[in-house]
Structure 1
Amino acid sequence: MTKQQSHIIKTLVAGVFSATIGSPVSYAKETSRSADKQDDIHQLETLLVKTSSIKDQKGLNIDTPSEAGSRLGLTIRENPASVAVADRQKMEEIGARNFQDAANSLPGVNASAPPGHGGFVAYRGFTGAQVNQLFNGISLQYNSANRPVDAWVYDHVELVGGPSSFLYGSGSIGGSLNYVTKLATRDEEIREAHVSHARYDTMETAVGINHALNETNWVRLDFSRNTSNGYIDRQERQASSLAVSWLADLTPRLSHTLALEHHVEREDSPYWGTPTLQPQSGTLKIDKSNRFKNYNVRDGRYEQRVTWARSITDYKISDQTSLRNTFYHYRGQRDFRNLEVYGYNASNTLVTRSDAYMQRHNQELNGNRIELRHNGELFDLRSDWSFGADYSVNQQTVYPTSGLARSQGLFLDVVTPGNFEPDYFADIPGMNNGLQKGRSTEVKTLAAFIENRQYLSRRLSLVTGLRYDHIDFHLDNGSATPSTVNRRWDTLTGRAGMVFDITDEANIYAQYSTSAEPPGGTLTSASAGQVNNDFKLSTGYQFEVGSKFNYLDGRGTATIAAYHIVRRDFPVTDPQNRLNTILAGQQTSNGIELASSLQITPRLRAEGNIAWIDAEFDDFNETVGTAVASRKGKTPVNVPDQVANLRFNYDITPDWQAGIGARYVSSVYANNANTMWIPSYTLFDMHTKYRVGKNADLTARIRNLTDQTYARFIHQSNAQYYVGEPRSLEVALHIRF
């Protein structure tokens, strides 16, 4: 972090806390309001007044309960952690096409979906398995399973900063993203349809229905179909998403929800990146005239078929106590068939194509979670409790077939960048023999957890959480040696945080949380080498302080968080023996996140966030040729120092709305030596929405307004530039009937 950035951060922090304590909402005003409130803070009815549906909120939604940050039903304001939500309104405002677009609107998140990396997320200085991604609070424990699904069937996306292992188990040193699906609701009748068309023949058709069958049964159906020719040559995509749910009130106190989801996606000739020009050092460059060329084979393929099922039973034991049981089932199949690596020769006139790879992932997850929540009293002060247990079995079998590895000096061909035949996968030597079964893993997890929010006074509360995980791991290594591996781990993680309400409009908080992480980051894809050395779980911890407050008489809302995270004891190369791996790695991340929403005038609203991240390795070694190199003090790959979003929405008339937005992502390194990097970028977008009739809206949207060439991601192994989408116009019609 530069001196200038440090000065800006210090000034910002001072200004925010000054605004918090000396805001227009004075202490006298707060005292007056307090006199009108019931002093009995432990009455359930008093707290329920603060809660409201996400659909009714605007801006940062800090008075909305968030499942991502707590099982106690706390609002974002009440939670001693950095929690943010992209609700359905925000998703529609930004034109989110998948849940990653929604995630990127949240503070500090930089997400993309390059092939082979599934749902890649960088957050708070960490990437990959260090950022937990959840589907309705359930982790698939495998990054490639997090490939983004089209946004229509999702209600909102939640983000919690820093370790949240006490909620969701191993992983999540950087934070957790939770993608929440639409469910049948008692709130309202919904009948809507959506159709859009954009550049590259990108089409979406979607329909959504929430309907009351009678006084005790409600059903919901959401379906979307997406097709596109893609902005990269020969990259065609088609995807369908279906979510169906049935809510039944069996008795006045007992209800059941059955939820089913099915997602199918197929991408022809997936784009694996654009080769960077030689020499590959400093700022990496590409030949912009060939940036949309696809070097994959003609019949390259990515496919996924995903099915989710959840059975959710809610029982209201009393006005203060409730019980929820969730049975969940997931089945996913992912297929890859590609030629993945491309590199220029020294004169940048020819491109070598190599690294053929064909693979299938068969994954199945079954589990059951039971939770008991009680709102009570302790020492005559409100005390809320949550207890629970979770048992799951996660199985995966992979079928890898590879050949023509660049590292072995093998390649398919050498082509002229602007003029070549892509050929077919079966033409590659050794690739026409079909799938070959590889290793299979089984991960059984038994967990018990407890969480409490205890008021210590009318304005001071203590929030704590603790989770115990017992993990049984079995690896069937196929024909490789060793043939089987069996390991067990036990871990205890937790959080303790304090929240102090300075006024009714502002608070400050502080928290400490811990995490635990399996060897290799994720056990569902672990190899024998990653788990067969009696490696213990890697651990981490975070200190965080922050504030959440309203300002300008409630027209503005803001949150600020400052954090210090340490991840330690992860596998690195032994400095004494490059063929050996030891648990000695350590990484530190410090940062500040600021988010705000302000109703500037009755018609003009601004919303934005900015994150500064200072991440570096304290202890990290890697093999370079026949030597071992230390990367101490270096920044991890694909981790930006700054991420920022800003958007203005203006209601021109009751029938016309316009908006403009900007997103900035700083430069990121392409290798751990920090000798190569890709440039920063700023993207602008704008939209205009017109109310055609009482029940119909027509929206025109321009993405990447300045047509900037930029890289969303850089492949560390070969420095391939994953080019982002160029300027495009989209027109959409949304109908309610």
Structure 2
Amino acid sequence: MTANSWHFDRIEVIKGPASVLVGEGALAGVINKVTRKPTLDRTYIDAMLSYGSFDTLTTAAGINVKLSDDVAVRADASRMRSDSLYDVENNRTRSSGLTASLLYKPAQNLTVLLAVDHYNDKYDSSYQGVPLVSAAVARNPSKALRSANGLVIDKALRHKNYNPDGAYSGADETTLRSRVDYAFGEGWSLANDLIWYTADRDFVLSGDQNFTAPTTAFPNGSFARSAQAIYHDHEFWNERLALSNDTQFAGHRNRFTLGVEYNDTDFINPRKQSSVGGIAAVDPYNPIVGTWPVGDAVYTSQNVVFDSQMKTKAVFAEDAFNLTPQWLLLAGARYEKIELERGITNLNAGGAFTSADADYDPFSWRVGTTYDLTPSFTLYAQYTTAAQPVGSMLTLSLANTAFKLTKGKSVEGGFKADALDGRVSLTGSVYRIAQKNIVTRDPNNPSQSIQGGELASKGVELTASAALTDQLRLSAGVSYSDAEYEELNELVSGVLTSRKGNRPINMPTTTFNASALYTLDAVPVTFGGFLRHASGFYTDNANSIFVRGHWLVDTSVSYAVTDDVSLSVRGRNLTNAFYGEYSGYPSTNIYIGAPRSVDVTLTARF
């Protein structure tokens, strides 16, 4: 789902474990998207118009209306259309969004927020990345990839799309939300969140595009293609009630939260799949893509309907205690009871029905501490445990429902420092995350899958920002991560093969970003420069296909027409770097990053 960033007030990357607050699986942290909310200060309108490369047009507007001293409403709408966000043939993209909310604050101790969010997007002939070809037929082989089997990325295929006409992917989702905050007094407060969510998602595309050696019919080789049609009918609701207290205990500040949570999920998932070769092969350089097949005859590999119902009950508690004004101790725990019902209807077997039920009861906890060495230098450390399923809970195979949840633990320590009256900020952390009981192959019976695999990652992160003068602002961030399978076996052509020591797919070891903004107050114009880097990654657990890292350079110029109107121009990938962003499906498809592009944006507030 592509949601225009216009609708969000901020997107929070909550570092460190958060399993206590958001449930199972949140071992390393969460991303919290916070939509724009009404304010009680005044009535105003925001608007934005942007146009750029690949005929990409984005429009958005929002209005905040103060109805009275205690009631305000806000509504935002956006629309984007593009020939292709990746500059790929036959890949027209559209997305739209509508968010609205009402804020009611009848008293200082009571706030009620009601909101609705709706997003929709669609991609014609979904781009699955460029398929790899043999070096023997490549017309312009790129150095962006190294493989053990002689396959390469051919720059000559940069703009090609091998999905048949009529292939597409898209989503339509709606969320209704309410939030009530009530303060009793003497440090006590109550918060209630109620959410209902529904979504329809479609993935109708060629899932496999495998290179086949040249033949008489295809002297350039060919891509053998499969067809898949996957649909999601997803409905979810969640109720969360939390009682909190912020007061003094034995002369020390103490913050305590006790809560309960219940959610219910219905997920219907028809999945249709043909074998590779289920639709006609195509020439890599002169593809006749054809049209999407009509009817179900092509779906000989799989034609099933998964029906899942999941209910989760949870209780959680967290306490933050100031041992001294500078030293904070934190502890939290969460217990869940998860009930999963899975049913599968096999339409290729005359509608045969099989089912499985599973119950899980994960318990997760964390402890942590922060210490202020000075008012501007803080140290922190935390240890967390969490649990998650061996795959997506709602799409587990019937066999995998018998597996226990995988266990994870994380330890992290770091610091945050400010200097020069807050004009310079520096944060850093080191961490280690480990997961046990991931699915692997049984060494004594390679045809059987068992739990027993292990995955671990350790790393360091450092970020800095500085307002050196009123005109010049600098920022930079660097991270290093060493991730590997400590235990994993796979079955390859009937042979048990160890992946111990290998790196998981799509995981660069290092990333780096830097920016500089300089404002000429007299004009006023702000110039910006941006540098980004990601190191290489593997596309398979065998680590046989390696996509090399890349550097990207962006720039921007922004002119403040008035205090409320600004015009900006942004250039992206100025060096026109040819690089792989991540691997698609299968591992021999690589998503190629967008080439050099430019956009012009006008923003205003009235």
TM above 0.5: yes
Amino acid of the residue matched to residue 297 of structure 1? P
Could you say which residue in structure 2 is the equivalent of 1:559? 427
Distance 1:657 1:730 in 2: 16
Match of 1:281 among 142, 147, 172: 147
Distance 1:217 1:284 in 2: 62
Match of 1:263 among 112, 119, 124: 119
Could you say which residue in structure 1 is the equivalent of 2:322? 455
Amino acid of the residue matched to residue 379 of structure 1? A
Could you say which residue in structure 2 is the equivalent of 1:704? 573
Match of 1:549 among 399, 417, 425: 417
SS at match of 2:574: coil
1:343 Cα deviation from its structure 2 partner: 2.8
Alignment RMSD (CA, Å): 2.0
Deviations 1:430-476 (A, max 9, x none): 2499x966011111110111111101112111011111111111111
Could you say which residue in structure 1 is the equivalent of 2:559? 690
Could you say which residue in structure 2 is the equivalent of 1:132? none
Could you say which residue in structure 1 is the equivalent of 2:475? 607
1:689 Cα deviation from its structure 2 partner: 0.4
Amino acid of the residue matched to residue 527 of structure 1? S
Match of 1:579 among 438, 441, 447: 447
Could you say which residue in structure 2 is the equivalent of 1:241? 97
Amino acid of the residue matched to residue 345 of structure 1? T
Contact 1:157 1:179 in 2 (8 A): yes
Distance 2:303 2:107 in 1: 52
Distance 1:148 1:447 in 2: 31
TM-score normalised by L of structure 1: 0.77
Match of 2:205 among 302, 325, 338: 338
1:495 Cα deviation from its structure 2 partner: 1.1
Distance 2:440 2:44 in 1: 53
Could you say which residue in structure 1 is the equivalent of 2:311? 444
SS at match of 1:340: coil
Distance 1:362 1:269 in 2: 21
Q: In structure 2, do the counterparts of structure 1 residues 510 and 542 end up closer, same or farther at CA, with 3 Å as the change threshold?
A: same
Match of 1:524 among 394, 398, 401: 394
Deviations 1:305-335 (A, max 9, x none): 1000001111111152211111100000001
Paired residues for 1:355-374 under 5 Å = 355-374=226-245
Amino acid of the residue matched to residue 281 of structure 1? S
Paired residues for 1:14-53 under 5 Å = none
1:210 Cα deviation from its structure 2 partner: 1.4
Bigger drift between 302-311 and 253-262 goes to: 253-262
SS at match of 1:200: helix
**Which structure 2 segments of 5+ residues have no match?**
136-145
1:289 Cα deviation from its structure 2 partner: 1.9
Q: In structure 2, do the counterparts of structure 1 residues 586 and 716 end up closer, same or farther at CA, with 3 Å as the change threshold?
A: farther
1:168 Cα deviation from its structure 2 partner: 1.0
**2:557 is the counterpart of 1:668:** no
Q: In structure 2, do the counterparts of structure 1 residues 622 and 187 end up closer, same or farther at CA, with 3 Å as the change threshold?
A: farther
Q: In structure 2, do the counterparts of structure 1 residues 593 and 148 end up closer, same or farther at CA, with 3 Å as the change threshold?
A: farther
In proportion to residue count, which structure has more strand?
2
Contact 1:640 1:666 in 2 (8 A): yes
Residue correspondences, number: 583
Match of 2:375 among 488, 491, 504: 504
Paired residues for 1:344-359 under 5 Å = 344-346=211-213, 349-359=220-230
Contact 1:284 1:677 in 2 (8 A): no
SS at match of 1:258: strand
Q: In structure 2, do the counterparts of structure 1 residues 628 and 715 end up closer, same or farther at CA, with 3 Å as the change threshold?
A: farther
Greater relative contact order structure (CA < 8 Å, 6+ sep):
1
SS at match of 2:20: helix
Could you say which residue in structure 2 is the equivalent of 1:656? 525
1:156 Cα deviation from its structure 2 partner: 1.1
Sequence identity percentage: 30
1:278 Cα deviation from its structure 2 partner: 2.1
1:183 Cα deviation from its structure 2 partner: 1.6
Bigger drift between 372-381 and 418-427 goes to: 418-427
Distance 1:703 1:461 in 2: 44
Contact 1:473 1:488 in 2 (8 A): yes
Could you say which residue in structure 1 is the equivalent of 2:493? 625
In proportion to residue count, which structure has more helix?
1
Distance 2:417 2:269 in 1: 49
SS at match of 2:213: coil
1:553 Cα deviation from its structure 2 partner: 4.2
Contact 1:497 1:512 in 2 (8 A): yes
Contact 1:164 1:514 in 2 (8 A): no
Match of 2:184 among 317, 320, 340: 317
1:412 Cα deviation from its structure 2 partner: 2.4
Amino acid of the residue matched to residue 695 of structure 1? D
Q: In structure 2, do the counterparts of structure 1 residues 190 and 596 end up closer, same or farther at CA, with 3 Å as the change threshold?
A: farther
Distance 1:188 1:178 in 2: 27
Contact 2:371 2:378 in 1 (8 A): yes
Could you say which residue in structure 1 is the equivalent of 2:80? 226
1:429 Cα deviation from its structure 2 partner: 7.5
SS at match of 1:693: coil
Distance 2:255 2:22 in 1: 19
Contact 1:183 1:220 in 2 (8 A): yes
Distance 2:238 2:517 in 1: 43
Distance 1:717 1:235 in 2: 19
Distance 1:449 1:185 in 2: 31
Could you say which residue in structure 1 is the equivalent of 2:604? 735
Contact 2:2 2:121 in 1 (8 A): no
**2:266 is the counterpart of 1:398:** no
Contact 2:17 2:384 in 1 (8 A): yes
Deviations 1:110-156 (A, max 9, x none): xxxxxxxxxxxxxxxxxxxxxxxxxxxxxxxxxxxxx3422110111
Amino acid of the residue matched to residue 637 of structure 1? I
Contact 1:196 1:731 in 2 (8 A): yes
TM-score normalised by L of structure 2: 0.93
Distance 1:243 1:156 in 2: 15
**Which structure 1 segments of 5+ residues have no match?**
1-146
Distance 2:227 2:286 in 1: 21
Deviations 1:484-508 (A, max 9, x none): 2111111111111111100000011
